[in-house]
Amino acid sequence: MGRTSDAREKILSAAQSLIELRGYSALGVAEICKAAGVPKGSFYYFFESKEALALAVLDEHWDTQKSAWARVLNSDEEPLRRLYRLFEETEAGQRAGQQSCGTVSGCLFGNLSLEMSNHTEPIRTRLQEIFDAQVEMVESVITEARAREEVTTPDTREAARAVVAQLEGQVLFAKLYNNTRRLSPLWANCLALLGARAPQEAVAGA
């Protein structure tokens, strides 16, 4: 059993790296198994299709990212400082990825949204759930900041969507220009989108 579940993990991990490098469509099951170092026969023991594998990759990646986001966004720091940390960690994560593989790989969810959401409904639905959850986590912090009168945005849901959209847009540019410094303006842009009352202080405080 130890070896069996090990093979599943190896396939998942190889698939995630390959999808980040080359996208989903360009990959074949044989190539994934070769990179994972497992016989091709074992693939279909764990996954009924390449789509099932993609869904498992999304789930595993979101499990990890959700924990990281929760650690930052549910901490006992002040709400705006928590948002600041989220961008700081995003930039650090993309920088680490660039150092290990030479290029900024961007956001797996954004990448697959643009590549796959119009091809397969199960992947579209899963990605919608993930982005809904991200927006909800960000909204809850914005709501706290608004209760403290630190931000003035009238619509916390729309503001959270704008922040996540800005994040996806700047991560797209960080990937395209292979330059993580593209992510530095995220914090100032976030404050502007939220109508922060004292942006300069908030920046200095973070």
Between 29-36 and 2-22, two packed helices, what is the crossing angle to 10 degrees? 120
Amino acid at 21: L
158 versus 201: smaller Cβ distance to its own copies: 158
By the rule CB under 8 A, 167 interacts with its own copies: yes
Integer angstrom CA distances of residue 19 from 54, 110, 134, 197: 9, 12, 21, 41
Window contacting its own copies (CB under 8 A); options: 33-41, 50-58, 78-86, 192-200? 192-200
Window contacting its own copies (CB under 8 A); options: 5-13, 17-25, 60-68, 87-95? 17-25
By the rule CB under 8 A, 164 interacts with its own copies: yes
Site residues for its own copies, window 63-122 (CB under 8 A)?
A: 103, 105-106, 110-111, 113-115, 117-119
Q: Which of 170, 180, 187, 202 binds its own copies (CB under 8 A)?
A: 170
Site residues for its own copies, window 49-68 (CB under 8 A)?
A: none
73 versus 127: smaller Cβ distance to its own copies: 127
By the rule CB under 8 A, 195 interacts with its own copies: yes
Q: What are phi and psi of 196, to 5 degrees?
A: -65, 140
Distance CA(152)–CA(76), nearest Å, equals 22
Token readout for 88 is 């700081």
Question: Would the CA dihedral through 91, 97, 102, 107 be positive or negative?
Answer: negative
Window contacting its own copies (CB under 8 A); options: 9-17, 45-53, 71-79, 172-180? 172-180
Contacts of 11 by beta carbon, 8 Å cutoff, 6+ apart: 32, 33, 36, 38, 42, 43, 46, 47, 53
Helices (H) and strands (E) in the chain, counts: 10, 0
By the rule CB under 8 A, 162 interacts with its own copies: yes
By the rule CB under 8 A, 172 interacts with its own copies: yes
Binding site for its own copies (CB under 8 A): 21-23, 25-26, 103, 105-106, 110-111, 113-115, 117-119, 124, 127-128, 131, 158, 161-162, 164-170, 172-173, 175-178, 182, 185, 188-189, 192-193, 195
